[in-house]
Amino acid sequence: MRVGLVLTGLVLLVVVIGPFLAPHAHSDIIGAPFSPPSATALLGTDYLGEDVLSRVLAGGRSIVWISFVGTLVGVAVGAAIGMTAAYSGGVVDELLMRTMDVLRAFPPLVLILLLVSVARAESALMPLIVAIAWVPQVARVAYGAAKEVVGREFVESAEALGTPRMRIVRREILPNVMTPLMVDFGLRLTWSIGIVSAMSFLGVGLQPPAADWGLMIKENYQGLALQPWGVVVPVLCVAVFTFGTNLMTEGFARTVARVSPLEVTT
């Protein structure tokens, strides 16, 4: 967990202060395309002749905010749907959860590509698209956790006291499903980082001239044999980042939640 915190902190540090340390503007052409590392470009240049180092330093911001906001919204909406369905039961339960089943019929990335094909990914829409992909999955996790709680005495006594239903969901059910939801959030944050960078890698995420790790991998992939740094460094950045968030989640799951993350999602 400590290693995870350090790695994640390191990546976030690069993301936050990186742009101020960058020797060049991220879309300035400073040399020939795919030139090897030199004094002016420590990691060489990319497919257009832009500085790889400066683009790496500037290229994490989009991934961090899109995956964080997307996961947060997805988990919040999914949890609300799952808890409401579990507590309401009957028709509402069936309607909500069967709708979620239909959305879960698509692998998340396929659902994302379907949405992107219509809503042309603008970076402002990307968190929303990521969130929609997670909603049905989170709803199922929250539903399962909430179902175990809804029949308990403290819920019944709150009902007997005439507590409004929304308040019961918020005050009685939510605290009891919070721990699995937090583990789920951590897992999905890691996956979101992968998905957001994959979207840009597939050409349906951020578009040039934006500096973004996923996009950099796509742009410089053709020149991998010529000038590997334009691909290797962004790949390592994404890897270290997901590694860090995953270790943090594992640590949290083991020490605080006392569950294996496998149990939450499968």
14 versus 97: smaller Cβ distance to other proteins: 97
160 versus 225: smaller Cβ distance to other proteins: 225
Angle of helix 126-147 relative to helix 90-103, nearest 10 degrees, comes to: 130
**Residue 32: CB minimum distance to other proteins, A:** 20
48 versus 235: smaller Cβ distance to other proteins: 235
Is residue 255 a contact residue for other proteins (CB under 8 A)? no
Is residue 193 a contact residue for other proteins (CB under 8 A)? yes
Is residue 260 a contact residue for other proteins (CB under 8 A)? yes
The footprint of other proteins on this chain (CB under 8 A) covers a number of residues equal to 46
Phi, psi angle pair for 106, to nearest 5°: -105, 135
Is residue 118 a contact residue for other proteins (CB under 8 A)? yes
User: In the numeric block, which tokens belong to residue 237?
Assistant: 């950045």
Is residue 228 a contact residue for other proteins (CB under 8 A)? yes
**Site track 23-62 with other proteins (rule: CB under 8 A), x = hit:** ----------------------------------------
- 110: Cα separation from own chain's centroid: 16
71 versus 172: smaller Cβ distance to other proteins: 71
The closest of 62, 59, 57 to 14, measured between CA atoms, is 57
Residue from the set 79, 115, 135, 183 that interacts with other proteins by CB under 8 A: 115
Residue from the set 76, 113, 158, 174 that interacts with other proteins by CB under 8 A: 113
Hey, what amino acid is at 242?
T
Residue from the set 34, 143, 191, 252 that interacts with other proteins by CB under 8 A: 191
Distances from the Cα of 149 to the Cα of 176, 178, 211, angstroms: 7, 12, 46
Is residue 126 a contact residue for other proteins (CB under 8 A)? no
CB 25 within 8 Å of CB 59: no
The closest of 145, 30, 138 to 86, measured between CA atoms, is 145
Phi, psi angle pair for 164, to nearest 5°: -60, 150
Residue from the set 32, 39, 102, 124 that interacts with other proteins by CB under 8 A: 102
Half-sphere exposure of 201 (CA within 13 A, CB side): 17
Give the list of residues 6+ apart from residue 149 with CB closer than 8 angstroms, or none.
86, 155, 172, 173, 176, 177
**Binding region for other proteins (CB under 8 A):** 101-103, 105-110, 113-120, 190-191, 193-195, 197-198, 201-204, 217, 224-225, 228, 231-232, 235, 238-239, 242-243, 245-247, 250, 260, 262, 266
